[in-house]
Amino acid sequence: MITGNGITKTFRQRGNVLAGRDVQALRGVDFAIAKGGAASFIGESGCGKTTLGRIIAGLETYDAGEISIGGTPMSGLKPKQRQPHFRKIQMIHQDPYSALNPTRTVHQTLQAPLALRAKQTGRSRQWMDERAAEVLALVGLDPGTVLSRYPHQLSGGMRQRVVIARALTVDPEMLVADEAVSMIDVSLRLGILALLKDLRERLGVSVLFITHDVATARYIGDDGELYVIYRGQVVERGPVDTVIADPVHPYTQSLLSAIPVLHGLELPGEQPVVPLESLDESQPDTGCLFARRCPFRTERCEGERPVLGRTECVPQEHACFHPERRSVVARPMSEV
Amino acid sequence: MPHPASSQAPGVRIDGLTVVYKTPAGELPAVRDVSLTLEPGTITGIVGESGSGKSTLALSLLNAVQPPGRIAAGSVEIDGLGDVVGLSGERLRKARGAHIGYVFQAAQNSLNPLKTVGKQLLDLGRSHGVDDLRGLVREARELLGRMGLDGARVLDSHQHELSGGMRQRVGIMLALVLNAHVVVLDEPTTALDMITQANILKIVREVHAERGLTTLVITHDIGVVAEVADRLAVMYGGRLVEQGPTREVLGAPRHPYTRGLIQAIPRLVGDIDEARALPGRPPTLATVPTAGCVFRERCALRMDVCETDDPAAVAHGTRIVACHAVKVREHA
């Protein structure tokens, strides 16, 4: 179980032409990911989803709030003491081309973390070789053919599998996949998504999926939670299929309305939501962060900021004064 | 969809185009015997994975394939210009920009980081011998305004002051400002956010209709083509495997690759187990088979004839499909 409470992060820009402008990347975010569970963070670039993922993986500091891993709060611990906790959380990056050292074979890539592991637990070289073959088999690669290869001899999909295998060498409890399929060829994407789902089911690894592509977020499992993040605030949160089928926050609705419709296979949603203007972070926000772009804003939205919570008749949490269901998602023609 | 200004839109006929790249293993074809007609006033979308040859095909429209690549065979006829493959030197340079506009990928940083957009616009005007530079700036400002930007401000900006979506619109402006009527957009929305992407696609559709263009969109994302294109062409391993009206191809794909590709798209609704990845992986220049069907390694309908004979592109009504299995079923 990994939980976060009120995570806040502000990036201060110093020493350049933009000096003095602070960027509030996260404004008090709460999350909870159960052991073996799944969650997806979605939002546009710059919304803070990647920063949050990096904080969860221990790669970034945060200004305020608390992260607990397995019930242990991290803030009271010294960096050395935190290390074994954060090692349980492994990151899978977007670009499998730069995530692997081009001068190392797959065998060498996997041996480095395994050697550390073997030293800690007093295991033999033979165990390292067995374990390397085991993790490759887990990600659907044939150890015999892949171990001696260099990254440039593998396709994008195979490379991403090697990256995942490397993460598995340390027996992680959670994988943080940041846009892990966006650079993979379309015909192979589902294979990687299915692998992440499969690892959840077989090994009980929880998966945190960070993406701007809402549709891929469904494929980590239907018990997953979806967090819609806008400018550092979670604006809607709930079970993946509930939020996609019945979104209530106008921002979620805008995101879903913007997804291309496969004409010929699908019919567009009946009430698409188009934001009024483009994102402009230079102006101060007194009320709801989305108010200036929101077609349904009222006076209240401009003066007061809604907080994430539940209201009657809406199964998911949301941060909107005027939650209303709208049919925005394209429907398959076969169902009409 | 009506095209009111299509009377001035030129047609483009690509015929038997083959583009080869020189490698240590000899000359290998990145595009092989591709024939495609862009009807005047239509938007055609080419979909393909990495290494399918779609970008090479797009560059051939400008006769801009760089060495070690070269156009080995075929022609690209554009109304009012002739065969682009036969053009060279000054005539070719003038044709690019004046007849054919090319919008590069926003992420590729096709703008000069040291010059304002306005200066680059003037450079473009001078290199094409435009006398009325003031008129050119006016036209650029109008185009930018049409796309929802503050024209004067954008022309005064350097590229780092513009967001990805704004840069993409600047790219479209630069491609159209010399009054080109054939426009090629290479991955117009890759690396853009969903909402920005929807915006750009809307602009592409509107500008296309208003100015009477013949547009070619190159992308790896079927969703993009589904949104904007009248016709869809699917490329695989340097071959055009299927083409036809977008809705028909999406609704009833014929070629096994098209079918697999559509089935592999993660969808927002419906049963998630219905979506399936294609087995195997796309071929590269070095691994693409020299004889037989390029898709057979990943194909569920593979037959003996696929090993030896490259299927010809055969027209079935409005659809053109290059597959032995489809032919068999048609005749059975």
pLDDT at A20: 58
- Distances in Å between the Cα of B205 and the Cα atoms of A144, B73, B172, B223 are 51, 33, 12, 14
Q: Is the pLDDT of residue B124 over 70?
A: yes
A335–B251 CB contact, under 8 Å: no
Q: Is the pLDDT of residue B5 over 50?
A: no
B246–A45 CB contact, under 8 Å: no
| Spatial CA neighbour of A76 closest among A252, A68, A219, A171 | A68
Size of interface A-B (CB pairs under 8 A): 129
In tens, the pLDDT along A152-184 reads 888 888 999 999 999 999 999 999 999 888 888
pLDDT at B2: 40
Identity of the residue numbered A108:
Q
SS (H, E, C) A3-40: EEEEEEEEEECCCCCCCCCEEEEEEEEEEEECCCCEEE
**In this structure, is residue B122 part of a structural domain?**
no
H helices present in chain A, as ranges: 49-56, 79-86, 106-121, 125-138, 143-146, 156-168, 186-203, 214-217, 240-245, 250-257, 299-303
| Spatial CA neighbour of B169 closest among B118, B203, B214, B121 | B203
Burial of B329 (0-12, 13-18, 19+ CB in 10 A): exposed
Q: Is the pLDDT of residue A185 over 90?
A: no
Share of chain A above pLDDT 90, in %: 61
**In this structure, is residue B234 part of a structural domain?**
yes
Identify the closest residue of chain A to B230 by CA–CA distance: A263
Task: Confirm or reject contact between A256 and chain B (CB < 8 A).
Answer: yes
Identify the closest residue of chain A to B268 by CA–CA distance: A215
Q: Which of A155, A158, A189 sits opposite B266 (nearest CB)?
A: A189
**Residue ranges per domain, chain A?**
100-171, 246-335
Question: Which CATH number does the domain housing residue B327 bear?
Answer: 3.40.50.300
Lowest-pLDDT choice from A221-230, A245-254, B59-68, B188-197: B188-197
pLDDT at A15: 58
In tens, the pLDDT along A29-54 reads 999 999 999 999 999 888 899 999 99
How far apart CA A257 and CA B141 sit, in angstroms, is 30
> Model-level pTM?
0.89
3-state secondary structure of B114: coil
3-state secondary structure of B32: strand
Q: Is the pLDDT of residue B328 over 80?
A: no
Residue B290: pLDDT band with limits 50, 70, 90: confident
Is the separation of the CB atoms in A263 and B223 below 8 Å? no
In tens, the pLDDT along B142-178 reads 999 988 889 999 999 998 888 888 888 999 999 999 9
Q: Which of B196, B262, B266 sits opposite A215 (nearest CB)?
A: B266
Q: Tell me the pLDDT of chain B averaged across its residues.
A: 89
**In this structure, is residue B25 part of a structural domain?**
yes
Please provide the distance, in angstroms rounded to a whole number, between the alpha carbons at the two ends of chain A: 41
How far apart CA A256 and CA A266 sit, in angstroms, is 14
pLDDT at A46: 82
* DSSP 8-state secondary structure symbol assigned to residue B31: E
In tens, the pLDDT along B74-99 reads 999 999 999 999 998 999 998 988 89
pLDDT at A223: 85
Distance from CA of B89 to the nearest CA of A (A): 37
Q: Indicate if the alpha-carbon torsion angle A229, A231, A234, A237 is positive or negative.
A: negative
Q: What are phi and psi of A198, to 5 degrees?
A: -65, -40
Lowest-pLDDT choice from A109-123, B46-60, B187-201, B299-313: B187-201
pLDDT at B3: 42
The four Cα atoms B150, B153, B155, B158 give a dihedral, to 10 degrees, of -120
Mean pLDDT of A63-88: 91
H helices present in B14-114, as ranges: 54-60, 89-98
Q: Is the pLDDT of residue B332 over 50?
A: no
More confident residue, B320 or A335: B320
In tens, the pLDDT along A117-155 reads 899 888 999 999 999 999 999 999 999 889 999 998 888
Mean pLDDT of A99-103: 93
pLDDT at A228: 96
Q: How many domains does chain B have?
A: 1
pLDDT at A73: 92
Q: Which of A158, A186, A274 sits opposite B261 (nearest CB)?
A: A186
B165–A218 CB contact, under 8 Å: no
**In this structure, is residue B291 part of a structural domain?**
yes
pLDDT at A220: 83
Residue B286: pLDDT band with limits 50, 70, 90: confident
Task: Confirm or reject contact between A90 and chain B (CB < 8 A).
Answer: no
> Which residues touch A205 (CB under 8 Å, ≥6 apart)?
A36, A168, A172, A173, A174, A175, A199
Q: State which residues form the domain around B242.
A: 9-99+180-331
Give per-residue burial for B229-267: e unless 16+ CB within 10 Å, then b: bbbbbbbbbbbbbbbbbbbbbbeebbbbbbbbbbbbbbb
- Set of chain A residues whose Cβ sits within 8 Å of the Cβ of B199: 278
Q: Which residues 11-50 on chain A approach chain B with CB closer than 8 angstroms?
A: 44-45
Distance from CA of A307 to the nearest CA of B (A): 24
Give per-residue burial for B277-314: e unless 16+ CB within 10 Å, then b: bbeebbbebeebeeebbbbbbbbebbeeebeeebbebe
Q: Tell me the pLDDT of chain A averaged across its residues.
A: 90
> Which residues touch A236 (CB under 8 Å, ≥6 apart)?
A226, A227, A228, A243, A247, A248, A249, A251, A252, A316, A317, A318, A319, A320
pLDDT at B4: 43
Q: What are phi and psi of A282, to 5 degrees?
A: -80, -20
